[in-house]
Amino acid sequence: MKRRVAILISGRGSNMAALIRAAAAADYPAEIALVISNRPDAGGLKKAAASGIATTTIESKSFNNDRSAFEAVLQSTLDQHRIDLICLAGFMRLFTAEFVQRWYGRMLNIHPSLLPAFPGLEPQAQALRAGVKISGATVHFVIPQTDAGPILMQGAVAVHDDDTAEALAARILEIEHRIYPAALRLVAGGQMRFEGGIWKTSADAAPAVLISPAVS
Active site members: 111
Supply φ then ψ for residue 32, to 5 degrees: -85, 105
Q: How far lies 115's CA from each of 78, 85, 102, 151, 189, in Å?
A: 28, 22, 23, 8, 24
- Which H helix or E strand runs over 135? strand 134-141
Please answer whether residues 73 and 44 qualify as being in contact, where contact means their C-beta atoms are separated by less than 8 angstroms: no
Measured torsion, CA atoms of residues 29, 35, 38, 40, in degrees rounded to the nearest 10:
160
Q: Give the separation between CA 161 and CA 158, rounded to whole angstroms.
A: 10
- Taking alpha carbons only, the member of 216, 214, 5 closest to residue 103 is 5
Instruction: In the chain, count H helices and then E strands.
Output: 6, 9
